[in-house]
Amino acid sequence: MIAGISHITFLAKSLDRATAFWVNVFDATEVYSSGGETFSLSKEKYFLVGNVWICVMEGDSLSDRTYNHIAFQTQAEEIDGYISRIKKIGAEIKEERSRVEGEGCSVYFYDFDNHLFELHSGNLGERLSCYLGTNNEAR
Q: What is the pLDDT along the chain (139 residues), one digit of tens a residue?
A: 988 899 999 999 999 999 999 999 999 999 999 988 887 889 999 999 999 999 999 999 999 999 999 999 999 899 999 999 999 999 999 987 766 676 778 899 999 999 999 999 877 887 787 777 755 443 3
42 plus 88 within the same structural domain: no
The last residue of one of the domains, among 38, 60, 82, is: 60
Residue 102: per-residue pLDDT:
66
Residue 112: per-residue pLDDT:
96
Q: Rounded to whole angstroms, how far apart are CA atoms 118 and 110?
A: 9
Give how far Cα 44 sits from Cα of 33, 55, 83, 90, Å: 6, 7, 27, 23
Task: Give this prediction's pTM.
Answer: 0.84
Concatenate the DSSP letters of all residues of 57-124 into one string.
EE-PPPSS--S-EEEEE--GGGHHHHHHHHHHHTPEEEPPPP--TTS--EEEEE-TTS-EEEEE---H
42 plus 65 within the same structural domain: no
75 plus 13 within the same structural domain: no
Catalytic sites, residue numbers: 44
86 plus 40 within the same structural domain: no
Say if CB 98 and CB 108 are below 8 A apart: no
